[in-house]
């Protein structure tokens, strides 16, 4: 390889590494993102403007209509750090806050993409093992105790019948996109980064 092409390869490589993968999220005025959105449009309806994402590519064809802006895993969001002010998660399934390892994987990524004072809003049922309100606070505290520059506070609310008041006429679904998912609790996790 010539010295010139070796140099241009180096420049190309450093550009790719330095370049944030923003193609899904080009509009910097949009500071909210929903993860695992399925065929719904929760974020767009109640926290607009909001990007909707899900890991399952098949949804692009299965959902009629499909409101997804990006196919990506919650643990690997193609954007630069401190990009969003709110992350929304409804009925996580297959990812979430089940084990300490899962919680760490997810929170590491959410701490990266959220700005300081950013919020994670999680809605789910108390029987959902990926979001059990009774375990969530423990998982979050345990995660926080292992990190040095992030403080997390959690507020869990039992919604009872408030779900209709907060999010009127909205239907949540299980992974099949058809069977209704009952939401009974909401958790708001606020993060504060002490060094950016």
Is residue 47 involved in binding ligand SAM (CB under 6 A)?
A: no
Structure tokens at 59: 């949804």
Q: What angle do CA 24, 34, 49 make, to 5 degrees?
A: 75
Structure tokens at 24: 């899904």
Burial of residue 124 (CB within 10 Å: 0-12, 13-18, 19+) is buried
Among the listed ranges 11-19, 109-117, 146-154, 168-176, the one in contact with ligand SAM (CB under 6 A) is 168-176
CB-CB contact of 191 with 117 (8 Å): yes
Is residue 43 involved in binding ligand SAM (CB under 6 A)?
A: no
Is residue 175 involved in binding ligand SAM (CB under 6 A)?
A: yes
Q: Which of 44, 46, 45 is CA-nearest to residue 30?
A: 44
Least CB distance to ligand SAM at residue 144 (A) = 22
Least CB distance to ligand SAM at residue 119 (A) = 17
Is residue 40 involved in binding ligand SAM (CB under 6 A)?
A: yes
Is residue 94 involved in binding ligand SAM (CB under 6 A)?
A: yes
Is residue 118 involved in binding ligand SAM (CB under 6 A)?
A: no
Is residue 69 involved in binding ligand SAM (CB under 6 A)?
A: no
Among the listed ranges 44-52, 85-93, 113-121, 152-160, the one in contact with ligand SAM (CB under 6 A) is 85-93
Among the listed ranges 18-26, 113-121, 145-153, 172-180, the one in contact with ligand SAM (CB under 6 A) is 172-180
CB-CB contact of 94 with 109 (8 Å): no
What does the alpha-carbon distance between residue 103 and residue 75 come to, in Å, rounded to a whole number?
A: 10
User: x/- site string to ligand SAM, residues 128 to 167, per CB under 6 A?
Assistant: ----------------------------------------
CB-CB contact of 115 with 121 (8 Å): no
Residues of 53-91 as b/e, b for ≥16 C-beta within 10 angstroms? bbebeebeeebeebbbbbebbbbebbbeeebbebbbbbb
Least CB distance to ligand SAM at residue 157 (A) = 17
Least CB distance to ligand SAM at residue 21 (A) = 16
Which residues bind to ligand SAM, rule: CB under 6 A?
35-38, 40, 54-56, 73-75, 90-91, 93-95, 172-175, 181
């Amino acid at each position: 390889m010539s010295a010139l092409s070796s140099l241009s390869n180096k420049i190309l490589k450093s550009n790719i590494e330095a370049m944030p993968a923003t193609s899904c999220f080009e509009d910097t005025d949009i500071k909210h993102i929903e993860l695992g959105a399925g065929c719904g449009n929760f974020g767009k309806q109640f926290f607009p403007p909001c990007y909707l994402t899900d890991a399952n590519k098949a949804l692009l064809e299965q959902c009629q209509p499909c409101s997804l802006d990006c196919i990506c895993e919650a643990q690997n969001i193609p954007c630069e750090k401190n990009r969003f002010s709110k992350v929304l998660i409804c009925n996580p399934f297959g990812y979430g806050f089940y084990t300490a390892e899962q919680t760490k994987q997810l929170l590491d990524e959410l701490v990266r993409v959220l700005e300081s004072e950013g919020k994670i809003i999680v809605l789910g049922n108390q029987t959902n093992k990926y979001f059990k309100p009774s375990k969530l606070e423990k998982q979050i505290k345990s995660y926080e105790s292992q990190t040095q520059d992030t403080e997390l506070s959690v507020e869990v609310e039992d919604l009872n019948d408030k779900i209709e008041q907060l999010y009127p006429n909205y239907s949540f679904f299980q992974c099949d996109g058809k069977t209704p998912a009952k939401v009974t609790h909401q958790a708001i996790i606020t993060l504060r980064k002490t060094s950016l």
